[in-house]
Amino acid sequence: MTQNLRLAGASAIAMLLAAPVFAQGELIGTKALNDRIDDVEEAVNDDLARAEDAARFGNPEFRQGLTGSASLGYSGKTGNNESQELTVGARMRYASGPWVHNIGVALDFAEDDNSKTKEDTFAVYDANYYFNDNLYAFALGRVETDGLANVATDTKTDAFLGFGPGYRVINTPEMSWRVQAGIGVSYLKDGLDQSTTETGYIASSRFFYKFNENIFATNDTDVLYSDTALRVNNDLGVNFKMSDRMATRVSYLTEYNEARAIRTDNKLGVSLVMGF
C-alpha cells in the first residue's frame, strides 16, 4: 500500500479535526475526541503498513550511511496525586554496500505517587548481507525487559540472538516468496532472577501474491523452537485498493505457544482508510 494512499486517509481526518476543534480544550471535551481519533488513525495505518516489505523483491536500495529518527515524551502531574511518565524511542539504519544494519530501541517508564508502575525496555538489532537478489545472510538480536517483574510467573528478561541464511524462492513482480532459517541462543529470566539459557531454532517465511493492480495478499510466518516451547506466529492479510482514496486490509493473525494453557490465540482485523 502506498504512502500517498495512507496520507489520503490522514488528510480526511485532518479536515475533520480542523479549527474550531483544535481550538477547544480538555474541559469541553473536543480535544479528547481529537486524541481518540488520532489513536484510531495510528492503529489503522499500522495495520496497513504490516503488508509492506521493503526487501520483498531484493536488496532494498537504502540511502548509504547512517539514517534514523528519535522521539521522547514526558508528562508529569501534581495535585491530588503525583505521577510522571517517560517514553523514548529511536530507530537507526546503517547501509554500506551489501550490508544493511537496523537498530530499534524503546523505553517506557512510569511512576504514580512515587511508586514505579512501569519500567520496560525493548531493543532489536537486525542485520542483512545481500550476496545477490536471491541469497542473503541475516543476524537478529532481541532483548525485552520488565524491571518490575518480581514473581516466578513474570518474565524479567526475554532475549534471543540468532543468525542464518535466507533465500528468495520466487522473485517476480506478481509473486515473491523468501524463506530464512537459523540457529541461536534463547535467554529467559523470571522475576526471581532464575534464568534459562538454551539453543533456539528460528524459521521465517514471507509470501506475496498480486491478484491484480488493486488486490494483493501476504502471508508472514515466524517459528521459534527451543526446549521450553514451540512458538509460531502466522499473519495472513489481503489488501484492497478500491480507489486512489480508499483502501482496506483484512487480516487473520494466529499466535501459537505450546507453553500456555490455551495454546492458540486468533485475531481477525479489518482496517479501512478513506479520504474525501
Structure confidence by residue, pLDDT tens digits, 66-91: 999 999 999 988 888 889 999 999 99
Listing DSSP states for 202-228 in one string gives EEEEEEEEESSSSEEEEEEEEEEE-SS
Query: Which H helix or E strand runs over 125?
Result: strand 115-130
Q: What cell does 100 get?
A: 544493511
Nine cell digits for residue 51: 503488508
Domain that holds residue 188: 3-274
Q: Which residues of the chain have pLDDT under 70?
A: 1-29, 48, 50, 54-62
Structural domains in the chain (count): 1
Give the integer Cα–Cα distance in Å for 164 and 173.
26
**pLDDT per residue as tens digits for the range 101-114:** 999 999 999 998 88
Is residue 85 within 8 Å of 74, Cβ to Cβ? yes
Q: Are 119 and 106 in contact (CB under 8 A)?
A: no
* pLDDT score of 29: 59
CATH number at residue 142: 2.40.160
